Amino acid sequence: MSKPRLAVWKFASCDGCQLTLLDCEDQLLNVADAIDIAYFPEATKGEIAGPYDLSLVEGSVTTAHDAARIHEVRRLSKKLVTIGACATAGGVQALRNWANVDDFVSVVYAHPEYIETLETSTPISQHVEVDFELRGCPISKRQLLEVINAFVHDRKPDIPPDSVCVECKMRGTPCVMVAKGTPCLGPITHAGCWALCPAYDRGCYGCFGPATTPNVAALGSWWRGLGASNNDLVLALRTFNGYAPEFREASETYEH
Amino acid sequence: MTTTAAPEFVAEAMLPRPFRVVSRRQETGDTFTLEFEPEDGVPITYDPGQFTMLYAFGVGEVPISIAGGRAGEPLMHTVRAVGAVTDAICNLPEGGLVGVRGPYGKGWPLQRAVGKDLVIAAGGIGLAPLRSVVVHVFDNRDQFGSVSLVYGTRSPSELLYEEELRWWRSRFSIEVEVTVDRADAAWYGDVGVVTNLLPRITFDPANTVAMVCGPEIMMKVVARELGARGVESDEVFVSLERNMKCGIGLCGHCQFGADFVCRDGPVVPFASVMNRMTVEEL
Amino acid sequence: MAAVVVDRSDIGVLFDALTADGYAVIGPTHRDDAIVLGEVTSPDDLPAGWTDSQDGGSYRLERRSDEALFGYSVGPHSPKRYLFPPRTALFDLDRSNGSLTFTQREVSTTKYAFIGLRACELAAIAIQDRVFTGSGVVDRTYAGTREDMLVVAVNCAVAGGTCFCESMGTGPRCEEGFDLVLTELIDGDGHRFVFESGSDEGDRLLEGLPSRPAGPRDIERVDETIAATSAAMGRALDTDGIQELLEENREHPRWNKVAQRCLACTNCTLVCPTCFCSTTEDVAALDGSGGTRSRRWDSCFTMEFSTLHGRSVRTTTRARYRQWMTHKLASWHDQFGSSGCVGCGRCITWCPVGIDITKEAALIRLERS
Amino acid sequence: MSTDREIAVDYLARVEGEGAMYLKLRGEEVLDLQFKIFEPPRFFEAFLRGRRFSEAPDITARICGICPVAYQTSACNAMEFAGGIGLDGPRRDLRRLLYLGEWIESHVLHVFFLHAPDFLGYDNAIAMAQDHPEAVATALRLKKLGNSMMTLLGGREIHPINVRVGGFYRTPTKAELEAVVPELEWGLSAAIEATAFVAGLPFPDFERDYEFVALRHPDEYAITDGRIVSSSGLDIAVEEWPEHFEESHVEWSNALHAALKSGGSYHVGPMARYSLNSSQLTPAAANAASDAGLGPSCTNPFQSIIVRSVEIVFALEEALRLIDGYRRPATPAVEVVPHGGIGHGASEAPRGLLYHRYEIDPDGTIADAHIVPPTSQNQRSIEEDLRAYVTGRAQLPDDELQWQLEQAIRNYDPCISCATHFLDLTVDRVAG
Ligand SMILES: Cc1cc2nc3c(=O)[nH]c(=O)nc-3n(C[C@H](O)[C@H](O)[C@H](O)COP(=O)(O)OP(=O)(O)OC[C@H]3O[C@@H](n4cnc5c(N)ncnc54)[C@H](O)[C@@H]3O)c2cc1C
Ligand code: SF4
Ligand code: SF4
Ligand code: SF4
């Protein structure tokens, strides 16, 4: 039986999500046994031509070239899974979507005319059909392995879309919002990180993006009671998943 | 502390036994009937209407009604592929292995129907849990008065057990009426919803037990229609469906009001749930 | 056995005795700005001199003027963490060589001794006993841990800001379900504990403690302490006819109101000492040779909880909140013969936005249909 | 007759990010050489404007998934500078310890997964594992060790959540740190062996006279802070960076090129650190270096792989020392309140000096941000290496030349995600 072929693609990103695969030290060789790592430029020079059975796509679309390239990736891939906040929600670079990109370019570059970029940073799903979106900035190792496992066995990945609070409580961390008045995005943020931040004595900053049906308005009023300003709310909602619809819309209501 | 049954240890009750697929038949586009034999040779004895928890390796476990399998026969399930687990089960080849726990829940009140007329009404996949009732009736035909089966699906291609349906019909000892919502070119039978068939069948409303299984809306409509014909709502039995993770009243998922559908149902008298069935998202 | 008095200076003997008997001793400890359960090996591990101030969505630790060991009310943890752990492996699967084998996981053999459980927590354990062992099937993990467990309970000397055990008839005095119960007294007669035994095991333990018989003055002080706690309850819930009230008000507008504030974050259910919902999880080896199935905490507040054919039955937060509260206060009576709420106040305190079950019930009563 | 040749690598592999190389040759003569970074720009410096000073560590971490701690540290340093404090005592030790975890992880990744396959002729480490299973198993275990230090101190290995301006959110207990000691001890001996293995690789005969730039600290091999020094005697405080360095924008790259104002390219990274500070290495690291045949400095960029191995040894030894002396601080962080002003911060990322500069408004809002990552500082040096390397080797067949030139780029462990604000190789041989 021939092994399924895996390809790892990079768009605008920090490389952290694809590094997560290399960070699975204990499982890496098993993964390589179960699937052919056919295209993964960060880790290998060798390259097996497509089509690929599974494509992991990291990063968002920010250039005209990438907007075209993603269609080619889709064409070459049986299943396409986006990995991380960039690919799933546009990433931190989507903060440009609220600004004038020309201003942005001139802040960073002396010769803006050399820079080709789009006005917006957009998630992969705005360009092509996506089979599964894995959240997190960065993604969790455990969940990445679950997605690969599910794919190899032709099943749906078991990635509960609950709030971070579920994991926080399972972990036994006393709620930082209740016990210390520290603002926390946990109740509206997608689980998967094993409620890391509260366990380290800080509020969740939403790096996994919105949970299902997040009640941002209710959490927002509570935050204000804890002393947060509208601008604090805008900043908190607009980080790595700011362009996810639920966070985006809510942040816009706090802007005025 | 009173216990209704001999205490059973749960993790044991949560522990499936391996069963092997001995036959697989495609019923419709997405529905398959599979028969299973226990690897350890110990068969499952059940009441019609009960269900098992079927476990697909590495994917998960789902409740599935027992469609048949009398003493000495393999365990029969009819499964519609609608999601992760049911897809995996429907894709099993002959010789494939699953885990089986059960049987669980309260089945159809066959004893109560002895000496009475019996109305069996099924919609779609709802015929699966009623199939074993029909089989039981044929095996014990003299225990019941007039028996009728009304069955409806959305289209002719979605009819389950077509061959058996034809055979049941040919026996004339029970009345079989079938309808489809939308006909195709080859269909020369009835068109319309199941309730349309009810006026046609004969039963004594004062001495009838009805067993109904299908989508919630269909069960409500049939029960109301039967009520209008004079059947008491506590003689109408419906089979409820809720998400279940354990099948034994511990996971909490299947609660419908105070009932744990897995344990207090799935078969319940319509009278006990009709108020609740009108509450949205209960 | 009659009540005895143990001095603060001698209380360490109890910890030593339990440890010597092979118990893992679990008690209140001060961690992460809260009082949580954890392993304790001596009275030094207890949060001496701390108390808490609790309200909807707020919990703060404060210093007491004395060095009381139990001078606070319940924290975010309950014994549920140990009896019904957040995640339990059920069985392992092996699919090598063409067969499928399921192998039961062994039940944990840890013997727990809980120190400092309150009356409401004893009531909650009694409820979970009925859930996990009382309805025909017996949950092995629960029953296994429960069987060998020992309880040193405490009569509450302070009522928390969200406590309402008085209304639920579950406290503050510990009536049953303990091996030992103590009342902590600090006054002119010193810092001491009045112990009463509730079992043979309790008798045995008491015999090993340096103690003196409790005098009438000590007993009087215990009664006064508990009475004062009863009088100081932070909350109250009118339970009169509550089952009918909720069952008849399933379409009450209040459900919509609360849904506007509710985050459906699950905190209330997970801190509740009686909530018992769970789901299952499968982990399979990448090569398909085997795997493990586990059970983990779940909550009726998640969207997935009631999924049927790819769609949730309770899509709205309104329906989910109603399910939770109606289950707790109403249908629980039909299922397990008591309320599902013991009045510990955790769901009020630990709701990140301070939604209050007592207030919601009162509002439905006020505007009942 | 000499023919003009073009060698183009459109997508360089085993580097972090997207880059390319273009080379145009006429016979032996290099007509054109470009090391291109086409990683799309992400505009961190622009959207940092308007954010709170306290957000800089978490946001800038996202510039690079390979060296987030470097970004967090330089950002914290800059904010602390603006707030008028410098971290000291156990909080500084923890910052250094976390950073060492990143050095170990990043260096092991580069040495064994990205670079060693070049020398041994494999496409990747997984292919290498077939013939060298033990070396790869050891490498994986070392990498995991680096990651576990980051997880312990930072919460997770990529984009740690525990770093804040002024220190940490939660500090570990001594017992938590001591739990990793046995694995660190194993790691130290494994890394010493690995250095010997790496020292035995075949190195091309190639030396260059670099202007090295790195941090230097009076008491230790500098990582988290220090003064900026160079081989030609520059010795400045971090806040003097703008006076001595400048960045320019070339048409073929999305990464800015940096240069010394005094003229010319310079080189940052392990070779620079080693060459400037090797006397400050810990004893086992110093021994490993001399056993591997390194002198007090190293000017063959292909041998940077040895220097990285030596730095792994150093990192493990230093980690053991820090854990031994650790006392948990009373509070995890010190309060830092920058009331406006300018903050400069630098630290030694695995790939070299990483400089941050922020202008902060009186209310703590970032008004301006400027970030100079190591790879953009090395761009010129890389191009110069390539030019020098081709000279005398232009007769090599295209595929061999391409492989060696790619290797010459990978000598720098270029992190292109960082540099963009940055690989493919194209060689054009023009018929002449
Ligand atoms: C008592 C009873 C008897 C049933 N008998 C049959 C039968 O004979 N044939 C048949 O095809 N189907 C039957 N079903 C429905 C069947 O259980 C679901 O279709 C199945 O659970 C869907 O799971 P999935 O993983 O394939 O789908 P997904 O949509 O991927 O399911 C996700 C999760 O939701 C749960 N879930 C989803 N739908 C249901 C549901 N309807 N009931 C319970 N849990 C659900 C599952 O537990 C699953 O873990 C019965 C259900 C019940 C309660
Ligand atoms: S989602 Fe975050 S971690 Fe992943 S590539 Fe984007 S910035 Fe990096
Ligand atoms: S700390 Fe945050 S994630 Fe944890 S329970 Fe509280 S609100 Fe939820
Ligand atoms: S708690 Fe929130 S911010 Fe922290 S790692 Fe988890 S999802 Fe990300």
pLDDT per residue as tens digits for the range A127-145: 999 999 999 999 999 999 9
Q: HSE (CB half, 13 Å, CA atoms) of A232?
A: 19
B120-129, B188-197, B252-261, C320-329: least confident range = B188-197
* Residue A97, amino acid: N
- Give pLDDT, residue C32: 92
To which H or E segment does residue A19 belong?
Answer: helix A16-22
pLDDT at D419: 46
Give B111's contacts (C-beta < 8 A, 6+ positions apart): none
Largest alpha-carbon pair distance within chain B? Answer: 62
Cα-to-chain-centroid distance, residue C273: 3
* DSSP string for residues in C321-345: HHHHHHIIIIIHHHHHSS-S-----
Give, in order, the Cα–Cα distances in Å from C229 to each of B37, C51, C73, C172, D69: 62, 14, 11, 7, 51
pLDDT computed for residue B1 by the predictor: 30
Query: Does position A45 have pLDDT exceeding 80, yes or no?
Result: no
pLDDT band at A46 (very low <50, low <70, confident <90, very high): low
Q: How far is the CA of D374 from the centre of ligand 2 (A)?
A: 20
Task: Encode burial over A141-159: b for 16+ CB neighbours within 10 A, e otherwise.
Answer: bebbbbbbbbbbbebebbb
Q: How far is the CA of A185 from the centre of ligand 4 (A)?
A: 8
C272 contacts chain A (CB < 8 A)? no
Contact (CB<8Å) C136/B7: yes
> How many angstroms does the Cα of residue D225 sit away from the middle of ligand 1?
60
- List, as ranges, residues 32-51 from C with C-beta within 8 Å of A: 32-34, 36
Contact C3, C206 (CB under 8 A): no
- Quickly state the pLDDT bin for B134 (edges 50, 70, 90): very high
Question: In D179-209, which positions are buried (b, 16+ CB within 10 angstroms) versus exposed (e)?
Answer: ebeebbeebbebbbebbebbbeeeeeebeee
**DSSP assignment of D373-410:** -HHHHHHHHHHHHHHHHHTTTTTS-HHHHHHHHHHHHH
State whether A41 and D256 contact (CB < 8 Å): no
Backbone angles phi, psi at B52, to 5 degrees: -120, 165
Rounded to a whole number of angstroms, the distance between the first and last alpha carbons of chain D is 8
In B, which residues are within 8 Å of C323 by CB distance?
255, 282
Picking from C121, C329, C129, C333, the residue whose alpha carbon sits closest to that of residue B3 is C129
Please provide residue B264's backbone torsions phi and psi, each rounded to the nearest 5 degrees.
-85, -10
Give contacts of C243 with chain B, Cβ < 8 Å: none
Decide: residue C355, CB within 10 A, 0-12 exposed, 13-18 middle, 19+ buried.
Answer: buried
- % of chain C exceeding 90 in pLDDT: 89
Tokens of B225: 């229609």
Are C29 and C36 in contact by the 8 Å Cβ rule? The answer is yes
Q: Which strands sit side by side in the sheet containing C87-94, from one edge to the other? A: C101-104, C87-94, C290-297, C278-284
* Residues C152 and C178 sit within 8 Å (Cβ to Cβ): yes
Whether B58 and chain A come into contact, CB under 8 Å, resolves to: yes
pLDDT at D121: 83
Per DSSP bridges, beta strands C311-312 and C307-308 are: antiparallel
Q: Is the pLDDT of residue D257 over 90?
A: no
Judging by DSSP bridges, how do beta strands A132-134 and A77-83 pair with one another? Answer: parallel
Instruction: Write down the H helix ranges in chain B.
Output: 10-13, 84-90, 110-113, 127-139, 162-170, 216-228, 261-264, 270-273
Above 90 in pLDDT, residue C236? yes
Instruction: Select from A84, A98, A92 the least CA-distant residue to A240.
Output: A92
Percent of chain B's residues with pLDDT above 70: 96
Nearest to C331 among B99, B250, B257 (CB): B257
**Which of chain A's residues have a Cβ under 8 Å away from the Cβ of B88?**
154-155
Tens digits of per-residue pLDDT, D289-313?
A: 999 999 999 999 999 999 999 999 9
Which chain A residue lies closest to C272 (C-alpha atoms)? A169
ipTM of the complex in this document: 0.92
- Which runs of consecutive H residues, i.e. helices, occur in D200-303? 241-244, 270-277, 283-291
Q: DSSP letters along B121-164, please?
A: EEEGGGHHHHHHHHHHHHHTGGGSSSEEEEEEESSGGG-SSHHH
Q: Which of residues 68-127 of B touch A (CB under 8 A)?
A: 83-84, 87-88, 91
Pick the residue from chain D with its C-alpha nearest to A42: D14
Strand segments, DSSP code E, in chain A are 5-10, 36-39, 52-58, 77-83, 132-134
Report the candidate in D312, D311, D200, D129 with the shortest Cα–Cα distance to residue A43.
D129
Instruction: Please report the pLDDT score of residue D61 as a whole number.
Output: 96
pLDDT at D431: 54
Task: For chain C, report the end-to-end CA distance as a whole number of angstroms.
Answer: 52
The pTM of the full predicted model, rounded to 2 decimals, is 0.93
Ligand 4 pocket check: which of A184, A200, A208, A235 to mutate, most ligand atoms within 8 Å of Cβ? A208
B272 to chain C, any CB pair closer than 8 A? The answer is no
Q: Which class for A217: exposed (0-12), middle (13-18), buried (19 or more C-beta within 10 A)?
A: middle
- Chains with ≥3 CB–CB distances under 8 Å to A: B, C, D
Which tokens hold the place of D393? Answer: 């080797």
Interface of C with A in 120-149 (CB under 8 A): none
Query: Does the pLDDT value for residue C342 go beyond 70?
Result: yes
- The pLDDT-based confidence of C369 (bands split at 50, 70, 90) is low
Cβ(D390)–Cβ(D34) under 8 Å? no
User: How high is the pLDDT of residue C239?
Assistant: 94
CA C343 from chain center: how many Å? 10
B131 closest CA partner among B172, B72, B174: B174
Q: What percent of chain C has pLDDT over 70?
A: 100
Q: Which of these, A6, A126, A146, A23, lies nearest to A67 by C-alpha position?
A: A126
Q: Give me D410's structure tokens.
A: 């990978």
Residue D348: band (very low, low, confident or very high) from pLDDT cuts 50, 70, 90: very high
Q: Is A49 part of the contact surface with chain D (CB cutoff 8 Å)?
A: no
Those residues with Cβ within 8 angstroms of residue C360's Cβ, 6 or more apart along the chain or in another chain: C254, C258, C325
Query: Hunting for tokens 């002003």 — which residue is that?
Result: D341
Give D418 or C308, the one with higher predicted confidence: C308
With CA atoms as reference, report the closest residue to B245 among B69, B79, B1, B62: B62
- By most ligand atoms within 8 Å of CB, the mutation choice from A9, A11, A14 for ligand 2 is A14
Q: At what angle do helices B127-139 and B162-170 cross, to 10 degrees?
A: 30
Stronger pLDDT, B159 or C367, i.e. the higher one: B159
Tell me the pLDDT of chain C averaged across its residues.
94
Whether residue B176 contacts residue B161, with contact meaning beta carbons closer than 8 Å, is answered with no
Inter-CA distances, B100 with B85, D20, D153, D281, Å: 13, 57, 46, 64
A1 touches D at CB < 8 Å: no
Q: Chain A residues with CB-CB distance to B under 8 A?
A: 149, 153-156, 158
Check if B216 has its Cβ closer than 6 Å to any atom of ligand 1: no
Instruction: Give the chain A residue whose CA is nearest to the CA of C287.
Output: A34
Sheet holding A5-10, edge to edge: A36-39, A5-10, A52-58, A77-83, A132-134
Q: Specify the pLDDT at position D8.
A: 64
Enumerate the β-bridge partners of residue D30: D25
Q: Which of B166-170, C13-17, D124-128, D339-343 has the highest mean pLDDT?
A: C13-17
